[in-house]
Every structure is written in C-alpha cells, then in structure tokens.
Structure 1
Amino acid sequence: MIAGRLLVVTAVEAEAAAVRAGLREPTVTVTPVGVGPAAAAAGTARLLALAEGAGQPYAAVVCAGIAGGFTDRVEVGGTVLADRSIAADLGAESPDGFIPLDELGFGETVAPVHPPLLATLRRALPAAAVGAVLTVGTVTGSAESAKALAVRHPDAVAEAMEGYGVACAAAGAGVPFAELRTVSNPIGPRDRAAWRMREAFDALTAAAATLA
C-alpha cells in the first residue's frame, strides 16, 4: 500500500476503469492522459501542477496499463513492474544500427523508478516480473524488430507507449514515479488471435488492489 495521495495515470479510459475497479481507498486519483509519450508527459505534468497549485500535491505517480511482453521473460496475462523506463526509439538510425539519444550526447533515454516506491510495489506484488519497460512511439510489429529490441535491452520485460513521458513529468515536479503493467500480447508480429485483453485487464484490476 502506497502512503499519501497517489496519482495513477493510464493511456485510455478502459485501463483507468480496470484500475478503479480494484481500488478500495478514495485517496487515489486515476486519470487517462492519452496515448504516447508526448500526451502522457503533457497530461501528467498538468495534473501534478494543478495539484501542487491547489496545495494538495501528490505523494507519487504510477503509470499503469496494459503492455506487450517479451514472452520468454513474462507470460501473457502476467504483471510487470519497471525498474526503469526507457525511451527505446529515441535516437538516430545509422548504417551500423540504432544509436540511442544518450550515446549521441543529447540527453537521457533512461528514466529511473523511485527505489522505495518500487520496493513497496514488489512487496505487494511478489509474483510480478521486474525489469526495464520500454517506451515506444510505434508499437513493435515484426519478429525482426522484436529481436532487435530484445538484443538492445536484454533485461526488458515489456513495451508500452507512455512510461518515459510520465517519468519525465514526475521528475520535473519532483514526485516519485513507478510503472505498473500487465501483459496483453506478445511483442512481435500483430496477431490479434494471441491477444488476451480480458486477462490483462483482470490482472490490472487485481494489481490495483495493492495500491491503496
């Protein structure tokens, strides 16, 4: 259980509804902020600023929702906790492969998770897979791209589209950040028959019960 006023942001209302269904305390605000890192950063920053301006700042912010999973590292329907959020496609292409932004010298692509907040979530969700969660602007849709991501990020457990943006907003406001995901599909070729949305939403509701 996380102490203090908690902000949980999701990409879409369906994810927010799944989180709300698991909550037992009114001290948690759950709000969808949009799909993708830019919308997530802008929406989260606004919510944090409004709360601070009202004299009721949040104690922490959690980015929550469903995600694609590296299925040799986490099963479909499983729960994931980020130990860091990585902007996996922020950088440049080159003849020798992808160059991350930090290697170009223009900034950071890795956003750390608040260690005490992660520790609290790990105690509450001991079965969750823990590792890097990748933030992408374009969902991976081929076996070749999935393999390249897995090689570049050997401890990554999932990919989604908002975590890094939420982390940047949280860092700017000085608010602890964490990312919680449940896996709806394998990363790779788009195979709707392999998607397990209901299982992922049910797992998200179950995980949300540990937040408050």
Structure 2
Amino acid sequence: MVHRILIVTAVAAEADSVAAGLGPGAPDPVPLPGGLALRRHGHIDVLVGGVGPAAVAAATGTALACESLAGGGYGLVVSAGIAGGFQPAAPLGSVVVSSAIVAADLGAETPDGYLAVEELGFGRSVHPVPEALTGRITAALAAGGPSHVLAPVLTVSTVTGTAPRAAELAGRHPEAAAEAMEGFGVAEAAAAHGVPVVEIRAVSNAVGPRDRAAWRIGEALGALRHTFELLGRTVLVEAHA
C-alpha cells in the first residue's frame, strides 16, 4: 500500500503557510465528519484540527479513521504550526523539530513538586520520535532551510505568560526548545492508529512574559512555509513510499 501523509495544524493561517510551501493542491477540499476538511496536495493532506490537545486529537483521529475506512492509510502524521521558543535554544524565526512530544502539564501538583502522569500510574506523557525520521528532517533543513534545532516540544493547555511559569517548565524539561498546544493530542491519535508522528514548529515568540510587540508571527509563518517547501520535495516524498 502507498501511504498518504497527514499534516495537522491548529488554525487556518498555519495551514495556509504549510499549503503554500507544498504548492498547488486540489481545488476542492475533502469534507470529513464534524465540519472538518482536508486540503489535498498530491499524497499530502493538510487538516486544520483546532486549538488545544483535545480538539486536535479528535480531528486527527477522525481523519485517520476516515482514511482507513476508505481503504487507504497514512504512513506519517505531522503536527505543524508556530510556537513559543525557549531562549536562547530556539530564537525567533527558527524551527524546532521534535525529538519527543511531551505533555508538560499532564500530571499532578504535590507539596513535594510536580508528578508526571507516569509517576501516578495512569498513562504516558511522552511520545519519542524515531531518530531515523528526525535525522532525515534535520538533514533536509540543513541543506537550505531556516535555522533549526532538534529538541523536545512541550504541549500545554495554557500558554506560558510569566517568567516564573517559564522557569518552572524549563526546570522540569531542561532540554525542551518550544511549547505549543496541540502536539501531544496529535501524537495520541496517531499512536492509537499505529502511525509515526513528528512535530515541527516555527518560533514566533519567546516563552515567558507576554509581550505582543515582540511577537514575530509573520516571520514564523514564513519559516513554516519554507520548511514545508523543502520537506515537500524531500522527506515527505520518501515517507510516501
């Protein structure tokens, strides 16, 4: 079977940037249950899944199930979009490729500190990404893409907006380079269907106190477009086979 590739974003602006990098697609989107729609670019589908891990997990699961019921299958799922970057590891305009997708606040606060859900015995909070996959992605970006880093990407349900919260997250996840709101939800849906997953984020702002004047959303969306322009003719072609 020749597998398709599914790229999931939170909002339309991110999907537009991904689609612009991939080039012209089919004129009409493919409707899915729940008011969702796939934009088809050859063997690559782009889906706006919604904001936050719950919404995007439901949307990703819907797309995966519909493709399976139609007799096809996805060989790779990519969570893509813009994100906050931990400084100085991930400067504004750079791209973070996930070595792991981490649910940073899936656990419990205790008098002795934070306990991840694994320590509570209730599940998992980390999806490691295969090195063979991240190696191909970083090699493609090194050959002409934006500045990038390979590191864990955190999924949070509340975006960090203070210095103490940023310091807390950095202390618990010292190797992390970015935070966003959807990666773990996408990863959970992909894992349920046995499909590999990776998260790719372009950095629009620093993780920490909210300073909208310092945000570089346009620059990050441009980096996202450039990233998928490169991957669309390299890694995403290989993953299709």
TM-score per shorter chain, which class?
over 0.9
TM-score, length basis structure 2: 0.84
Which runs of 5 or more residues in structure 2 are unaligned? Answer: 24-40, 233-241
Larger CA Rg, structure 1 vs 2: 2
Of residues 184-193 and 124-133 in structure 1, the stretch that sits farther from structure 2 once superposed is 124-133
**Is the 2:3–2:73 contact (alpha carbons within 8 Å) kept by the matching residues of 1?**
no
Runs of 4+ deviating beyond 6 Å: none
**Is the 1:117–1:177 contact (alpha carbons within 8 Å) kept by the matching residues of 2?**
no
> 1:49-64 residue pairs with structure 2 within 5 A?
49-64=65-80
* Partner secondary structure for residue 91 of structure 2: coil
- Distance across 2 between alignment mates of 1:97 and 1:191: 29
> 1:94-133 residue pairs with structure 2 within 5 A?
94-126=110-142, 127-133=147-153
> 1:57-206 residue pairs with structure 2 within 5 A?
57-126=73-142, 127-206=147-226
- Distance across 2 between alignment mates of 1:91 and 1:74: 26
Q: Give the C-alpha shift of residue 55 in structure 1.
A: 1.2
* Partner secondary structure for residue 116 of structure 1: helix
- Distance across 1 between alignment mates of 2:68 and 2:132: 22
Q: Give the C-alpha shift of residue 4 in structure 1.
A: 4.5
**Is the 2:9–2:50 contact (alpha carbons within 8 Å) kept by the matching residues of 1?**
yes
Q: Give the C-alpha shift of residue 94 in structure 1.
A: 1.1
The Cα RMSD (Å) is: 1.2
Which runs of 5 or more residues in structure 1 are unaligned? Answer: none
Deviations 1:123-175 (A, max 9, x none): 11124201100000000110000001111101000000000110111111011
- Distance across 1 between alignment mates of 2:15 and 2:130: 22
**Is the 2:3–2:72 contact (alpha carbons within 8 Å) kept by the matching residues of 1?**
no
- Distance across 1 between alignment mates of 2:62 and 2:156: 22
Q: Give the C-alpha shift of residue 83 in structure 1.
A: 0.5
- Distance across 2 between alignment mates of 1:105 and 1:174: 22
Which protein, 1 or 2, shows the higher relative CO under an 8 Å CA cutoff with sep ≥ 6? 1
Of residues 73-82 and 18-27 in structure 1, the stretch that sits farther from structure 2 once superposed is 18-27
- Distance across 1 between alignment mates of 2:62 and 2:119: 30
Alignment size in residue pairs: 210
* Partner secondary structure for residue 210 of structure 1: helix
**Is the 1:134–1:158 contact (alpha carbons within 8 Å) kept by the matching residues of 2?**
yes
Of residues 114-123 and 96-105 in structure 1, the stretch that sits farther from structure 2 once superposed is 114-123
Q: Give the C-alpha shift of residue 197 in structure 1.
A: 0.3
